[in-house]
Structure 1
Amino acid sequence: MTDLELDVRPLLRNGGEPFGAIMAAVGSLAPGQRLKLFATFRPEPLLAVMASKGFSHEATPLDGGEWQVIFTPEGEDITSPAVASDPEKWPDPSYYIDCTEMDPPEPMVRILAQLEAMAEGEVAFALLGREPVFLFPELQARGAGWVGDFDATGENYRLMVRAGRKP
């Protein structure tokens, strides 16, 4: 089986955020298929996110400070059970959090605090000034579902979080 190749270097050079494209590529992988990623830097935060999704990695420096990273699925299930498969069936959000004027890590702290106060199945909506890549592994660890994307302007990230079962 051939690797799925994704080159995010042009997007990064133009000031874009490649996380959405990377997660879309991960979602399109066939069982057992690897993702070969090309980036302008060693994507340290992504390595942790991918590890939480069941991937090991092999990072290789290229010329000019660029990197190739091969992500290999480990184990049977490479999909995150916390990522929502059908948010259309979720109830309307009970909580709204505007994080657009907050600096990291305050949005993550605020969203996680709200999640802890929510009952199973309740939904919160958050508006952020950037994609919260460090928040996703924390949501997964807490059994929460989530779905998010950038608004039409590309300036704000919209995130819905559904509380999972408390341990």
Structure 2
Amino acid sequence: MTHYVELDVRPILAAGGEPFGRIMETVASLGPEEGLRLLAPFQPVPLFAALGSKGFTHQDREIGGGDWEVLFTPAVEPTATAGGVSAAKWPSPLMRLDNRGLMPPEPMVKVLGATEAMQPGEVMEVLLDREPSFLFPQLAERGHEWLGGFDSDGVTYRLFVRIGAAS
């Protein structure tokens, strides 16, 4: 279970300050089971890549009045392997899909559609409600590799897909 350290940068920005240094200091001080709950007066899109490169995924939502809440969560290393793929370090995901709450076959359709927009070697991270056993043969047929497993909560299945060369 991730514990979130809250950082509200709205007062810093309202005073004309630049919060990036404070954000990075806070991230550097986080422990292994800690994430960042950031409150900002706008959607901080540039931070998504900056913290993504440091191993964090994000979930953002508008909370009213133009303000945003973003949860930056440490990415979970894949716990299982499939398709003969080793758990060697993969590049950070460039695309993230939250397919929880969708009824089959919609999660599979969304993943396969998203793979069409990606380049060989790129990685996608997908959150699911269950192990996508019917998706695995489809990925293999298209030349993609995958790693996946349930998060420590035992509820969310986290799938990483590395795009293979076009056949």
Identify the structure with the greater strand proportion: 2
Q: TM-score w.r.t. structure 2 length?
A: 0.49
Identify the structure with the greater helix proportion: 1
Q: TM-score w.r.t. structure 1 length?
A: 0.49
Larger-gyration structure (1/2)? 2
